[in-house]
Amino acid sequence: MSPQKAWDRVQAARQPNRPKAMDLIPYLIDHFIELSGDRHYGDDQALLGGLGSFEGQPITILAQSKGRDLQENMSRHFGMMHPEGYRKAMRLAKQAEKFKRPILCLVDTAGAYPGLGAEERGQAEAIAASLKLFATLKTPVITVVLSEGGSGGALALSVCDKLYMLENAIYSILSPEGFASILWKDESRAAEAAELMECTAQDLYAKKLIDGIIPEPAQGFASGIPDVVAQIKDLLRQDLNTLGSLKETVLLDRRYAKYRQIGARV
C-alpha cells in the first residue's frame, strides 16, 4: 500500500467520478429490476433496491445511491437515507431471506439524513432495527463500501458475512470536518482530524473490521471502472460459493463472531 495521507484518501473518496451504485449495477448484475417503497410511508431514492441475477444466480441488491449530477443528487439526498430507506432495505432483505437469495449491499453515504422528517419518522429506530435484522438474517450478505461509509447510516447496511472497501474508501464515526469542529471548534482542521480518526480502508483492515481491500486503478477512475467491476465479481463469485455451502447455523454463528470480536475485551 502506498503511504498516502488519510486526507488524500478522504479527498479521493469524494471525487465525483468515483463509481456509484448506478454505474456498477449494470455491469455486475443481469436483468436488474428496481423495487421500491417501504410499504408504510414512501420510497427513499437514497437507497436503490432491487434484484437481478449474478452469473445466473438470483441476488438482491441494496445500494446507497449517490447521483451523477446535482438534480439526481437532490432526489437521492446524496445517498443519505431516511427511515423509509432503511425500512425498504429491511423489507427487501426479508424477501431475500424468504426466497433464499443472497444480498449484495453497496455502501456510499456520508451518513443518515439529518432532517426533521427523518427524526419524526424514527431514524434511530430504523437504523437500530436494521442492525438487528441483518445480524440474524438467514441468507449470505456481502457488503462493499464504495466511497464514504459515514456513521450509523452506513453501518445499518454493513452487518454482513463479508465486508470490503475500495482502496480509497473511508469509514468513520462522523466526517473529518464534523470531528474537527467538535474537537477544536474549527472545521478547517479536517485534514488533521482525518489522520487521527484512522478511517481509511487500510486502518479498518488493520483493525480486522473488514475482510479485504479492493484496489483502485492507479490513474484514478477517469480510466474507467472495468477493473473494479472485475474484482467485485471475483469476490462475489468466491464468497457466494463458500457462504452458500455453509449450514445456516454455521453462517449465522460466524457472522455473530465477526461482530462479537470487535474492540477491547473485558
Partner 1 sequence: MNPQFNTRKERLSLFQKLFPQRSEQTKTAADLSIVMCPSCNHPISQYDLNAQAHVCPGCRYHFPLGVQERLSTLVDPKSFKELYRSANSLKINTFPDYDRKLHKAQELTGLKEAVACGIAEIDGEKIALGIMDSRFIMGSMGQIVGEKITRLIEVATKKKLPLVILTASGGARMQEGVLSLFQMAKTSAALARFDEAGGFYITVLTHPTTGGVSASFAMLGDIILAEPKALIGFAGRRVIEKTINQQLPESFQTAEFLLERGFVDRIVDRTALRQTLGQLLKLHRRHA
State the residues that interact with partner 1 by CB under 8 A.
Answer: 112-116, 118-125, 127-129, 131-133, 135-136, 151-152, 155-156, 158-159, 171-174, 178-179, 182-183, 196-199, 203-204, 207, 209, 255-256, 259-260, 262-266
- If the CB atoms of residues 19 and 111 are measured against partner 1, the closer one turns out to be 111
3-state secondary structure of 43: coil
- If the CB atoms of residues 72 and 187 are measured against partner 1, the closer one turns out to be 187
Q: How far is the CB of 230 from partner 1 (least distance, A)?
A: 28
- If the CB atoms of residues 99 and 184 are measured against partner 1, the closer one turns out to be 184
What is the total residue count of the chain?
266
263 DSSP assignment: S
- If the CB atoms of residues 127 and 228 are measured against partner 1, the closer one turns out to be 127
Residue 235 falls in which region: left (phi positive, over 0), alpha (psi -120 to 50) or beta:
alpha
84 to 54, 137, 141, 201: CA distances (angstroms): 27, 19, 21, 29
Q: How far is the CB of 117 from partner 1 (least distance, A)?
A: 9
Detail the DSSP E strand segments found in the chain: 30-34, 47-54, 57-64, 103-109, 141-150, 162-166, 170-172, 212-214
Q: How far is the CB of 113 from partner 1 (least distance, A)?
A: 8
Q: How far is the CB of 220 from partner 1 (least distance, A)?
A: 25
